[in-house]
Amino acid sequence: MTFGALIRRGFSTATGARTRPFQVAIDGPSASGKSTTARLVAKRLGFDYIDTGAFYRCVTLSALQKGVDPSDSKNISRIAALASDAKIDLKTEFHASASTLPTTRVFLDSKDVSSDIRTSNVSKHVSVVAAIPAVRQSVVQKVRALGAEDIDSSAKESKQTATTSAPSSSRAGLVMDGRDIGTSVLTHADLKVFLVADSHVRAVRRLEELRKNGSQDALLDVKQVQEDLERRDESDRTRAVSPLRKADDAIELDTSNLTIEEQVDVIVKEALRRQGKI
């Protein structure tokens, strides 16, 4: 391995010591279990958690709230400006109880939009927004900064803001989930995982999430949700900028018949193994 590769992978060429947090990148299509899995993996490992998809959803929500139609190509520059100007805060709370899932509250311009960004209307348009090069550039720059050694100082250099409940300096690593973390954002992550699952299974999961959050979209049936997910999959896979795909060095994990606990166990054990802890 070259000196340059050692530096990119987060090691000092002088001492061989790690110079940045251990990075776990979890990618996959909608409702494949990315966010739930990533939060629990972060909790088990004592790492920070960053939900990158929330950034794109916030930009999409902002556009819809302002009457800007994401499907109209004439609005690309306006949406790009919204992505640049929006203040987005992520606050993840890790609970003491082992059975309690860590929760991430999402704030857009100081307003809690945690439920608003999960509606079917936002889900329907977010792929279009995420495919805009200027939007992706803004978000990718931000989340890359969060993956650096000094997360706090890097974040200050960005126009957007993202925070977690625990400062990165107190944790040994971080977990990010999205659709292009391993391929575009944390390209040298220490562990990359690509989650897949049957579209019907994912539709059932998404509907349960909507009902749990009290969303009005909980009235949709499984077939409608499944069709929305499959449209999103196709859009994500075929977009010109950072399409959804498995990184060459990622582990593929089919979660169709796995419980959350089982898939978390697989990832945690692999992370510990790569850290030389088991």
Q: Are 54 and 117 in contact (CB under 8 A)?
A: yes
Residue 8 lies in a domain: no
Structure confidence at residue 146 (pLDDT): 64
Answering whether pTM is above 0.85, one says: no
Residue 14 lies in a domain: no
pLDDT value at 101 more than 60: yes
| Range with lowest mean pLDDT among 86-90, 155-159, 189-193 | 155-159
pLDDT in tens, 155-168: 333 333 443 333 34
Residue 7 lies in a domain: no
pLDDT value at 82 more than 50: yes
Residue 139, domain CATH: 3.40.50.300
Residue 2 lies in a domain: no
Structure confidence at residue 69 (pLDDT): 97
Q: List the 48-51 sheet strands across, edge first.
A: 48-51, 173-178, 22-27, 191-196, 251-254
Rounded distance between C-alpha atoms, residue 236 and residue 136, angstroms: 13
Rounded distance between C-alpha atoms, residue 253 and residue 230, angstroms: 19
- Determine the length of the chain: 278
pLDDT value at 98 more than 70: no
Q: Give the mean model confidence (pLDDT) for residues 60-84.
A: 97
Residue 54 lies in a domain: yes
Strand, coil or helix: 267: helix
Over the chain, what is the mean pLDDT?
A: 83
**pLDDT band for position 9 (cuts 50, 70, 90):** very low
**Residue of higher predicted confidence among 278 and 19:** 278
Residue 12 lies in a domain: no
Strands (E), the chain: 22-27, 48-51, 88-93, 103-108, 111-112, 173-178, 191-196, 251-254
Residue 11 lies in a domain: no
* Number of domains, the chain: 1
pLDDT value at 276 more than 60: yes
Residue 99 lies in a domain: yes
Structure confidence at residue 148 (pLDDT): 60
Give the up-direction half-sphere exposure of residue 89: CA atoms within 13 A in the CB hemisphere. Answer: 11
pLDDT in tens, 223-233: 999 999 999 89
**pLDDT band for position 90 (cuts 50, 70, 90):** confident
Q: Give the mean model confidence (pLDDT) for residues 125-145.
A: 87
| Range with lowest mean pLDDT among 139-143, 177-181, 262-266 | 139-143
Residue 185: which domain range?
A: 23-270
Give the up-direction half-sphere exposure of residue 12: CA atoms within 13 A in the CB hemisphere. Answer: 7
pLDDT value at 100 more than 80: no
**Residue of higher predicted confidence among 244 and 91:** 244
> How distant, in Å, are the alpha carbons of 78, 124, 161, 176, 258 from that of 115?
24, 15, 19, 20, 26
